[in-house]
Copies of this chain bind each other. A is one copy, B any other.
């Protein structure tokens, strides 16, 4: 199936100065990259590679001829492919997990590690849960307020399971409730802990349990963190607003609901204080395919290429 589901109108592709390539363009993240790039004013999709019919063949060489390469390959397949492209000097944004803990790559949680991204040509794009959980907890971590271990409860739509049909993507197995999966040991824990430790200057062990919820797009996390010192909600909210006020893609909200953000490269963060137990409850909602994958990848590519960070990412969430 071809990627675009409608033909763009009045879109002068000749105006693009720069080109992008995607390896792994047939999955949900790859298709989402193509969708967003179709509206990018300066970056044009030059090669969409995948094993499926209707795509270009997978080729690190063809990818290296683009100004930036996006990789959406399965776990394990990214490493050799990414290293081959990176050797040519072409900037690479890898949406898989192979390089996320690799010291040679910048970890592209843009709002928290922007300078790393700007200075690198090899970006490991964060996992969707890690993006939401780390943005939800960062202001408390930076302020040294987190009394670890803390608990993170994640809820994702089924697009997060990927395009391959399995028992756990079947409508009849998903409808009618929210269910935990991988209750311990999820792969994103290491990412979250590494980021929080860097922000807090000390280890921050976390417990994290993801859940599948009966919808396609969207992801929410709620975090429960004991506080080192007493804090009112007003103080906590002021801390969050101060941290994110200058960030165009993160905002502090009363209502934190992924359904308001479909299609947007946005993160809504909420912060509340349970004064009875001195526990901070912080939540974040994103579109897992945009801020949790393809949108943040383009945000990072923009920085690497010296473009406006928000180029091609101005779409608002569908809202309903």
Contact = CB atoms under 8 A, between A and B. Distances in A.
A213 B6 CA distance: 22
Nearest to A249: B6
A263 B260 contact: no
Contacts of A224: 151, 153, 207, 209, 224
A180, A224, A226, A314, most chain B CB atoms within 10 A: A180
A19 B213 CA distance: 39
A83 interface: no
A158 B170 contact: yes
A167 B226 CA distance: 33
B180 A6 contact: no
B177 A215 contact: yes
Contact of A6 (B31, B151, B205, B266): B266
Interface in A126-171: 148-149, 151, 153, 155, 157-159, 163, 165-167, 169-171
Contacts of A215: 171, 175-177, 214
Interface in A229-281: 248-249, 251, 255-266, 268, 270, 272-277, 279, 281
A211 B222 contact: yes
A9 B31 CA distance: 23
B281 A183 contact: yes
B261 A316 contact: no
A8 B310 contact: yes
Given A205-B277, A266-B5, A283 B180 contact: yes
A177 B259 contact: yes
B6 A317 contact: yes
Interface of A: 4-11, 28, 31-32, 35, 38-39, 148-149, 151, 153, 155, 157-159, 163, 165-167, 169-180, 183-184, 205-207, 209, 211, 213-220, 222, 224, 226, 248-249, 251, 255-266, 268, 270, 272-277, 279, 281, 283, 285, 289, 308-311, 313-320
